[in-house]
Amino acid sequence: MRFDVITLFPEFIRQAMAIGVVGRALDRQIIGLDCWNPRDYTEDNYRTVDDRPYGGGPGMVFMIEPLRRAVQAARRVAPDNPVILLSPQGQRFDQSRAKSMAAGSGAIFVCGRYEGLDQRFVDHYVDEELSIGDFVLSGGELPALAVIDAVTRLLPGVLHTDASAIEDSFMDGTLDCPHYTRPEKSEEGEVPAVLLSGNHALIARWRRKQSLGATWLRRPDLLAQLNLNKVDQALLREFMDDHKAENGVQ
C-alpha cells in the first residue's frame, strides 16, 4: 500500500507517521509514504500557493497550478490510486470506508489549507472528498493522518494479532468494554471479580454485556444500526435491568 500526501507541511506528515503502529508499518515496508509540497511546484520568487478569492470575502484560496503539478507528480508514481481530498465538505470517513480503502493499493491525499481550493482543481483532479467529522480544523493534514492510521491498522501483518480477529471482537459496531490491569485492589476500587475467575466463557459474556450496555448508554445512534441476535438481546436486557436496579426505576 502506498500513500502519497500533497501538503504544505510534509515534515508534519513524516514526523507523525514515524511513530507507533504506522511508523512500524513504514519501517517494515508494509506501507510507503511520499509527500509532495505544492510550494515546490511554484515558479515565482515568493513561491506563492494562494491568492484572493474572486467575488471577494475573507481568507485566501489555494491556487490551481501548484496543486495540479504536485498531483501530476504523485500520479506518475501512483497512477492507479484515487486522488482523495480531505475537506469539510466531504463524505464522512468511517470504519467501513477504512476497510474498503485497506482493500485497495493506496491513495493520493490532498490536504487543503486556507479557505479552500480553487473549485476547478476539485472538479478536474479529485476522485473523492472525505471529512473526519463536523468540527473545524485548520487544514487537511490531521484528517489525512487519521485516515492513514485507520487504514494501516487493518493491513495484514501490521498488528500483532490477526487483524480480522481484532475487527471481529471490536469493530462490530459496538463500543469496547472496560479494561483493567494490576493491581487487583487500588485506592480507586477493585477489579470486577469475573475477570479474576479464570472462566473464559463467563469473561467473554461479561465483556459482551458491557460492550452492548456501553453502546446503549453512550451511543444510541450506533445501537440503532445493530441487528442484535437473541444472545445479544438477552445480554443487553440483563445490562438494562442491572442498570435500572442500580439507578432506581422511575
Residues that bind ligand 9D3 (CB under 6 A): 86-88, 112, 115-116, 131-133, 135-140, 143
- Judged by CB, which is closer to ligand 9D3: 111, or 214? 111
Q: Residue 128: enclosing H or E segment and its boundaries?
A: strand 128-131
- Judged by CB, which is closer to ligand 9D3: 22, or 130? 130
Query: Distance (Å, rounded) from C-alpha 157 to C-alpha 162?
Result: 7
Helix (H, G, I), strand (E, B) or coil at 186: strand
Q: Is residue 153 annotated as a catalytic residue, yes or no?
A: yes
Q: Which of 159, 132, 136 is nearest to 146 (CA)?
A: 132
Measured between alpha carbons, how far is residue 110 from residues 22, 70, 174 in Å? 19, 9, 32
Q: Give the shortest CB-20-to-ligand 9D3 separation in angstroms.
A: 21
Q: Is residue 115 annotated as a catalytic residue, yes or no?
A: yes
Residues 110, 129: contact at Cβ < 8 Å?
no
Instruction: Specify the pairing of strand 61-62 against strand 50-51.
Output: antiparallel
Q: Give the shortest CB-113-to-ligand 9D3 separation in angstroms.
A: 7
Q: Is residue 52 annotated as a catalytic residue, yes or no?
A: no
- Judged by CB, which is closer to ligand 9D3: 30, or 60? 60
- Judged by CB, which is closer to ligand 9D3: 60, or 163? 60
Q: Among 11, 168, 176, 242, which one carries the catalytic annotation?
A: 168
Residue listed under C-alpha cell 509532495:
36
Q: Among 14, 88, 97, 128, which one carries the catalytic annotation?
A: 88
Q: Give the shortest CB-156-to-ligand 9D3 separation in angstroms.
A: 27
Quick count: other Cβ atoms within 10 Å of Cβ 218? 11
Q: Among 11, 27, 115, 242, which one carries the catalytic annotation?
A: 115
Q: Give the shortest CB-6-to-ligand 9D3 separation in angstroms.
A: 12
Q: Which residues are known catalytic residues? A: 88, 115, 153, 168
